[in-house]
């Protein structure tokens, strides 16, 4: 039963995502694909996956323990905080903290997680901002 509920919730989320994507206004300077294409592809994949889950549920689903559910909730909180703090502390700092926490919770050691977080943050900054010239959120340090 829980798989069917999860599938229906995913389908409703996909529909909401598609409706939001269709509401995106296109400027006259957009490319041939436009800004709606990628969100609509994501909505379609989510919708099809949700339908498959709802129609073919697992006979005996295995739920994670309470401790594991708390870790999943903590990861979701970190991602919400990341989105909220991104414009305040900037891309590099916010991404370093989020990536370090998430890799630590996935099983890396503390030092390895910090190095991975910093490396991920700086690597993405170099590729997307310095090489490709895309705008990323600037923090109090100017990057």
113 and 137 inside one domain: yes
Residues of the chain below pLDDT 70: 28-33, 143
* pLDDT, position 142: 76
Q: Please check whether residues 130 and 69 belong to one and the same domain.
A: yes
Whole-number Å distance between alpha carbons of 13 and 15: 5
Domain boundary among 63, 85, 110: 63
Q: Are residues 13 and 33 in the same domain?
A: yes
Range 44-60 burial, b when 16+ CB lie within 10 A, else e: eebbeebeebbeebeee
Are residue 53 and residue 103 in the same domain, yes or no?
Answer: no
Structure tokens at 31: 């490319």
Same domain, 114 and 137: yes
**DSSP for 6-36, written as a single string:** HHHHHHHHHHHHHHHHHTPPPPTT--SS-TT
- Lookup: tokens for 34: 């436009």
Counted domains in the chain: 2
Q: Are residues 83 and 32 both part of a single domain? A: no
User: Which residue do the tokens 């609509």 mark?
Assistant: 40
Handedness of CA 49, 55, 58, 61 (dihedral sign): positive
Report pLDDT for 32: 67
**Sign, CA torsion 73/75/79/85:** positive
Domain span holding position 86: 65-142
pTM, full prediction: 0.65
Task: Give yes or no: residues 4 and 18 share one domain.
Answer: yes
Tell me what pLDDT residue 31 has: 65
pLDDT score of 19:
94
């Amino acid at each position: 039963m829980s798989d069917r509920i999860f599938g229906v919730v995913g389908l409703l989320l996909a529909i909401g995502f598609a409706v939001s994507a269709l509401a995106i206004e296109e400027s006259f300077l957009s490319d041939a694909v436009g800004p709606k294409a990628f969100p609509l592809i994501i909505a379609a994949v989510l919708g099809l996956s949700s339908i498959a889950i709802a129609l073919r549920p697992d006979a005996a689903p295995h739920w994670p323990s309470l401790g594991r559910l708390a870790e999943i909730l903590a990861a979701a909180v970190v991602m919400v905080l990341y989105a909220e703090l991104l414009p305040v502390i900037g891309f590099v700092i916010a991404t370093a903290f989020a990536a370090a926490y998430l890799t630590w919770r996935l099983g890396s050691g503390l030092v390895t997680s910090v190095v991975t977080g910093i490396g991920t943050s700086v690597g993405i900054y170099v590729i997307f901002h310095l090489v490709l010239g895309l705008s990323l959120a600037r923090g109090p340090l100017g990057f």
